[in-house]
Amino acid sequence: MSHLIQQADLSAIEKAAQLLRNGKLVAFPTETVYGLGGDATNDQAVAAIYAAKGRPQFNPLIIHVPDLGALEPLVHMSEAAYKLAHQFWPGPLTMVLPRQSGSPVSLLASAGLDTLAIRIPSHPVAQQLLKKVGIPLAAPSANASGKLSPTMPLHVAESLAGKVDLILAAGKSNIGIESTVLNLTTSPPQILRPGGISKERLEQVLGPLPETGHQTEDHQPLSPGLLSSHYAPHLPLRMNAHEADAREALLTFGPDHFIKGGALRLNLSPSGDLNEAAANLFAMLRELDQPHFNGIAVAPIPTNGLGAAINDRLQRASIKS
């Protein structure tokens, strides 16, 4: 076995925690599937997750914590959320909840949304790692976009070699399908993705639930607009701007001295680094989205690498729904 894959003993878990604190990516076992983990509070680490998966879109990621104490600073828990937590956590349930205003979780991890998808996994290695690292971990399934979710360390290595710094190995994930994603910000709550906890079991706690909503797993082709909610600024947004007027806010990329105008100008990455641009995207859009401007102009952004996902999000933001 190469040094990329290490048996998840105490020293490997310690090493993983150190890598994660330094913004690196670590694949780790959960009871559902292996996750590709990164520091959820670090925009650059979250951008690296999207880059490693090669997703053409920023789908919001699940945030993993070891216990309720670690979760309470991140999201608002409702009474129903506590009931579900009591019944199903730790375990294969993900709850979408309103983000706390002071939540340290990266806006990129939730693709700009005011909600966070959160889960407390039961796998002992995931538990030990989360406790040791002491920061919430964003972790999608540890596979390249379009490939099946991995249930074995070797699957992760095949899919992500060169893109992950360490794979913690602990045999096969015993559930083998992802967690159920339940949106608790709507009334009644809605299942967004079927998974390890059945609708029937949720209904025993919540009463009747509506039909399951859109599926947004990354191995399911997701046509633009299908993801039921996405971040949209209040101001109109126009793309591929080569100049801005005096009342527009301007978002640029790379060297931008030749782009004139803009009441407030922010640069996603002066050096032209698309991962840095992704890391800054949602925070900068929010900063520019102020009522005293009359629109947001965005300079052209390349479409290679994370540029595809950046352009996809801007495209959605530019279509007023």
Contact 206, 189 (CB under 8 A): yes
Residue 43 or 218 having the CB closest to Mg ion: 218
Does 197 sit near ligand TXA (CB under 6 A)? no
Residue 39 or 218 having the CB closest to Mg ion: 218
**Contacts with 239 (C-beta within 8 Å, 6 or more apart), sequence order:** 298, 300, 311, 314, 315, 318
Query: What region does 128 belong to: left with phi over 0, alpha with psi -120 to 50, or beta?
Result: alpha
Does 267 sit near ligand TXA (CB under 6 A)? no
Residue of 290, 313, 293 whose CA lies nearest to 301: 313
Helix, strand, coil percentages for the chain (3-state, nearest 5): 30, 20, 55
Q: Which stretch binds Mg ion (CB under 5 A): 56-64, 139-147, 155-163, 275-283?
A: 139-147
Does 278 sit near ligand TXA (CB under 6 A)? no
Round to whole Å and give the CA distance between 5 and 207: 44
Sheet of 237-238: strands edge to edge?
237-238, 295-298, 248-252, 264-267
Side chain identity at 226, as an amino acid letter? L
Residue 54 or 140 having the CB closest to ligand TXA: 140
- Exactly one of 41, 42, 103, 141 binds ligand TXA (CB under 6 A); which one? 141
Residue 135, CA distances (Å) to 21, 64, 86 in order: 8, 9, 22
Does 267 sit near Mg ion (CB under 5 A)? no
Does 141 sit near Mg ion (CB under 5 A)? yes
- Exactly one of 94, 106, 159, 280 binds ligand TXA (CB under 6 A); which one? 94
Residue identified by tokens 């540029």 is: 307
Residue nearest to ligand TXA (CB): 35
The tokens for 182 are: 């339940």
Number of residues forming the site for ligand TXA (CB under 6 A): 29
Does 119 sit near Mg ion (CB under 5 A)? no
Q: Which does 110 bind (CB under 5 to 8 A by kind): ligand TXA, Mg ion, none?
A: ligand TXA
DSSP assignments along 164-191, one per residue: -SEEEE-S--SS-SPPEEEE-SSSS-EE
- The gap from C-alpha 261 to its chain's centroid, in whole angstroms, comes to 33
Q: Which stretch binds ligand TXA (CB under 6 A): 79-87, 212-220, 288-296, 309-317?
A: 212-220
- Exactly one of 40, 65, 96, 191 binds ligand TXA (CB under 6 A); which one? 96
Does 143 sit near ligand TXA (CB under 6 A)? no
Residue of 120, 112, 146 whose CA lies nearest to 62: 120
- Exactly one of 31, 39, 218, 276 binds Mg ion (CB under 5 A); which one? 218
Residue 17 or 75 having the CB closest to ligand TXA: 75
- Exactly one of 12, 25, 62, 107 binds ligand TXA (CB under 6 A); which one? 62
Q: Which stretch binds Mg ion (CB under 5 A): 44-52, 103-111, 133-141, 286-294?
A: 133-141
Residue 62 or 169 having the CB closest to ligand TXA: 62
Residue 43 or 178 having the CB closest to ligand TXA: 178
Q: Output b/e per residue, 177-188; b: 16+ Cβ within 10 A.
A: bbbbbbbbbeee
Round to whole Å and give the CA distance between 71 and 90: 12
Residues making contact with Mg ion (CB under 5 A): 141, 218
Catalog residues that contact ligand TXA under the rule CB under 6 A.
Answer: 30, 32-33, 35, 59-62, 94, 96, 110, 113, 115-117, 119, 121, 139-141, 178-179, 181, 183, 192-193, 216-218
